[in-house]
Amino acid sequence: MILSKKVVKASALILVLFGVFQENITAQDSLQQSKIPTKWFEKINLRGYTQVRFNRLLETNSDLKCEQCDRSIGDGGGIFIRRSRLIFSGKLNEKVSFYIQPDLASSIGSVTHLLQLRDAYFDISFDKRNKYRIRIGQSKIPFGFENMQSSSNRLALDRADGINAHLPNERDLAAIFYYTPQRITSLLDRLVNNGLKGSGNYGMLAFGVYNGETANKVSRNNNLYLVGRLTYPLEYRGQILEMSVQGIKGKYTLDAFTTKPGNNLFDDQHLAGSFILYPQPFGIQLEYSVGESPKFNKSTNSIAVSPSNGGYCLLNYQLELRHYKLFPFIKYQLFEGGKKAELDARSYKVKELEIGAEWQINRALELTVQYTMSNRRFEDAQRPDNLQVGNFLRLQAQVNY
């Protein structure tokens, strides 16, 4: 009996010593692993999304189109992959990060599903908290909230003409300085992470230069555009507000015209204001732009610098239904001016009402339905009298991965 007790005690002691030995080995292994430097390819994050649309239900006018919006609207449109994007991003060290985004569903004319670069830039930070940084490469130009808001987050299926006309594709080759205090950084990140339809961190203060030719195009003159933006998000009584003012100024060279203008270098400058109330549960987006840009004049059959103004108001609401989120919205937009990137700096006069809802089934799948009532006059030298009025129902399925 005494021998058995000694055996039990000896066994217990051995187990304790073995446990201590194992803990030491685990600690040493962890220490060794922490000393192994992380390889560059282990710092890359990969995500993306795909949008598939159909725009022709309940269509009343097949000649109603929008070149800058969705090219599958109107005659010839069918089931269409609007976007299919992969996003590679990462932080290479404390001071340098990168972001590359190709689109696998770009189109040129009737040829679709082409690979095209959307973003390719790197950020150089001057401090560990990224309070001061400069962004170099092809990136979004900080002008307008809806322009910077990702298409994967936006409620309405297309951006408003009055803001987007001045920066088609929203991107250009640029060097832009951003200043964002830590408190503002945390709030901007929270607006995206909590599904409140934020735009992301484009600085509290931003200013810089860019080519002015839109994405994936070489510069056609010796003039750089200037851009500046100041935004301030704040929390007040459980709500989050964001107010911004932004402006761009430069000279634009037309590359699509029926008859070459006598002077092909045009002043292009715009100032815009934004007011955003994030949906908790009621939300408002309000933006308006004024300025001047090249525009086709049908009375003289020429292109000249003319006033350009327009904007939109979007009202939305966030409903939580069990495990789902529903965002009903209504959007009204106005725009009168020229679109410099289209043929003959095409002249536009737009009035449009959109009513719809986004249904977030889960993080991977979203469905959007939108009914559009549109009145669009868009004219150039080939179509000097072109007013199109019509309604249509739009559907979109979006998969996030």
Which tens digits make up the pLDDT trace of 281-299?
999 999 999 999 999 999 9
| Degrees, nearest 5: CA angle 183-288-269 | 95
Upper half-sphere CA count for residue 168 (Cβ side, 13 Å): 17
Digit-coded pLDDT (tens) for 233-257: 999 888 999 999 999 999 999 988 8
How high is the mean pLDDT of the chain? 91
pLDDT digits (tens, 9 = 90+) for 149-188: 999 999 999 999 999 999 999 999 999 999 999 999 999 9
Residue 20: pLDDT band by 50, 70, 90 thresholds? very low
Q: Who's near 401: CB < 8 A, 6+ residues apart? A: 47, 48, 49, 50, 364
* Banded pLDDT at 5 (limits 50, 70, 90): low
> Per DSSP, which regions of 131-184 are E strands?
132-140, 171-179
Name the strand (E) or helix (H) holding 99. Answer: strand 96-108
- Mean pLDDT computed over 342-361: 97
**Residue 26 in this model has a pLDDT that exceeds 80:** no
Work out the average pLDDT over 114-136. Answer: 95
* Alpha-carbon distances, residue 17 vs 10, 26, 27, 127 (angstroms): 11, 14, 15, 48
Q: When comparing pLDDT for 381 and 29, which is higher?
A: 381
Closest to 70 in 3D by CA, of 146, 164, 157, 153? 157
> What are the structural domains of the chain?
45-400 (2.40.160.10)
d(CA 164, CA 25): 60
Mean pLDDT, residues 318-322: 91
This model's pTM is above 0.75: yes
Catalogue the E-assigned strands of 162-301.
171-179, 205-210, 225-236, 239-253, 265-277, 282-297
How many helices, marked H, and strands, marked E, lie in the chain?
4, 17
- How confident is the model at residue 264, as a pLDDT? 87
Element (H, E) at 353: strand 347-360
CB 252 within 8 A of CB 268: yes
| Backbone phi, psi, residue 26, to 5° | -60, -40
* 17-24: average pLDDT: 47
Which of 53, 52, 102, 47 shows the shortest CA–CA distance to 73? 53
Residue 356 DSSP SS3 = strand
- pLDDT, residue 21, reads 41
Rounded percentage of the chain residues whose pLDDT exceeds 70? 90
Q: What is the mean pLDDT of residues 203-222?
A: 94
The β-bridge partners of 123 are: 97, 135
Cα torsion angle, 214, 218, 220, 223, sign: positive
CA nearest to 45, candidates 85, 98, 5, 1: 98
Average pLDDT over residues 298-322: 95
CB 130 within 8 A of CB 185: yes
The C-alpha atoms of residue 129 and residue 123 are separated, in whole angstroms, by 13
SS3 state of residue 302: strand
Report how far apart, in Å, the C-alpha atoms of 97 and of each of 35, 186, 279, 286 are: 22, 18, 31, 32
Output the CA–CA distances (angstroms, integers) from residue 246 to 121, 275, 339, 400, in the order listed.
22, 12, 19, 31
Contacts of 120 (CB under 8 A, 6+ apart): 99, 100, 101, 137, 138
pLDDT at 3 over 50: no
Q: Is pLDDT of 2 > 70?
A: no
pLDDT of res. 1: 45
Query: Is residue 16 over pLDDT 60?
Result: no
Residue 275, pLDDT score: 98
Q: Could you give the count of Cα atoms lying within 13 Å of 6 in the half-sphere of its Cβ?
A: 3
How much is the average pLDDT of 211-226? 93
